[in-house]
Amino acid sequence: MESTPVWRRPTLGAVAARAGVSTATVSNALNGTGRLSEATRQRVLAAARELGYAPASTARALARGGTGVLGLTMTTYGDLPVPYIEIPYYAQLTLGAMSAAHERGYLLLAMPSSMSPWMWLNTPLDGVIHGGPRADDPVRAILRERGVPMISEGRPPEPRRCDAWVDADHEAGLRLLLDHLARSGARRIGLSLPLHDDAYPRLIAHAYRSWCDEHRTPALVEEYASLPDYFTAEQHAVSRLLSHDPRPDAVIGVYSDSGHNILAAARHHGLRVPGDLLVACVSEDPDYATTTPPVTTVSLRPDRVGAEAVDLLLAVINARGVVDRRRLVQPVLLPRRSTRRAARRRNGTP
């Protein structure tokens, strides 16, 4: 039996031989290091081009006929483009994903959520990380049509067995806040809950009710419309919470600006934080370190979510055998003054 000829990736040595230089010189020419004459550099680049040499970092992508480029986007909401890169969570997720892609020899292209199907059809991509998926998202249909590998950042609302996704462990994050508030003496913890068609509010509501059942405390929930203006809508929802009798002694919000909204509603009701009311929220906004008072937050670690998303997407693209297609990143608690047990309360419960 004769051996079948197989195309092999040209080696650094082959490029060196063709250009008539050492392999160190090839390496310097391709990596922009060392001191080379312009003529030598040109000769090496020409030899590399002729042989189809690609450096190791992109070899895997190029060997598969890929582009070496990964896409990242957020779902579209009809006519309303979401400037998601300006939202702290997605800003950090984007940077985390980008760093992870670079480390693995890939580039990451963040696409605007308003991008037309036309551009989705024409931008060359090896795979896409799709943020905040909805059930009927048109971008998902187009990518499936094109055969572009895709994973979700955030659980799909109606997950299917084949879906691959990375998400923050939202239930664990909410429990971090609830346990922390309970330790700070809260006995009636209210929840301000957005109405939205992604999975997030549903996961939060479920985790909250389970915790309240386990701890035999009342579930106090007020809902608000998250579009178009969740600032005003959430302040009204918190106002309704604070009008309950007896009043909640703590309120949790679950969107980035919820802490600001709850503080505003508390001021409106003449309540001091943390003396009369403990306040906490799920947010990546660094401003909570300097509000009056600083507000306790849970961080979902979006940079980790972004890095895990790149790892999972590359596993799917390269069809690695056994892969955990559902990955949860553990949130962290950042306790601040808004949930510090008040002195008089501490005296009351020794």
Contact predicate 293/339, CB 8 Å: no
HSE-CB of 269 using CA atoms within 13 angstroms: 22
Q: How far is the CB of 286 from a copy of itself (least distance, A)?
A: 4
CB of 62 to a copy of itself, least distance (A): 9
Closest approach of a copy of itself to the CB of residue 96, in Å: 9
User: 286 vs 321, which CB is nearer to a copy of itself?
Assistant: 286
Minimal distance, residue 280 CB to a copy of itself, in Å = 17
Residue 48 or 281: the one with the smaller Cβ distance to a copy of itself is 48
DSSP assignments along 44-60, one per residue? HHHHHHHHT---HHHHH
CA atoms within a 13 Å half-sphere pointing along the CA-CB vector of 280:
31
User: Which pair of tokens denotes residue 121?
Assistant: 């059809």
Q: What is the nearest approach in angstroms of a copy of itself to the Cβ of residue 122?
A: 8
- Check: CB of residue 259 under 8 Å from CB of residue 165: no
- Give the residue with the Cβ less far from a copy of itself, 128 or 250: 128
Tokens matching residue 220: 């106090």
CB-CB contact of 224 with 192 (8 Å): yes
The residues of the shown chain that bind a copy of itself, judged by CB under 8 A, are 29-33, 38, 41, 45, 48-49, 53-55, 57-58, 68-69, 76, 78-79, 83, 85-86, 91, 94-95, 98-99, 102, 107-112, 114, 116-119, 121, 123, 138-139, 141, 286, 289-290
- The Cα–Cα gap between 137 and 43 comes to 50
Query: Which CB sits closer to a copy of itself, 138 or 157?
Result: 138
Task: State the nearest-atom distance from the C-beta of 198 to a copy of itself, in Å.
Answer: 16
49/215 with CB nearer a copy of itself: 49
Considering the complex, state which of residue 195 and residue 289 has its C-beta at the smaller distance from a copy of itself: 289
> CB-based contacts of 252: which residues, under 8 Å, 6+ apart?
174, 177, 178, 181, 189, 190, 191, 192, 258, 280, 281
Q: What are φ and ψ of residue 110, in 5° steps?
A: -85, 125
Only one residue has tokens 């483009």, namely: 81
Nearer to a copy of itself, 234 or 303 (CB): 303
Q: For residues 268 and 262, is the Cβ–Cβ distance under 8 A?
A: no
Q: Burial, 80: exposed, middle or buried (Cβ in 10 Å; 0-12, 13-18, 19+)? A: exposed
Q: How far is the CB of 345 from a copy of itself (least distance, A)?
A: 25
**Residue number with CB closer to a copy of itself (95 or 316):** 95
3-class DSSP state of 300: coil
Q: Considering the complex, what minimum distance in angstroms separates the CB of residue 304 from a copy of itself?
A: 13
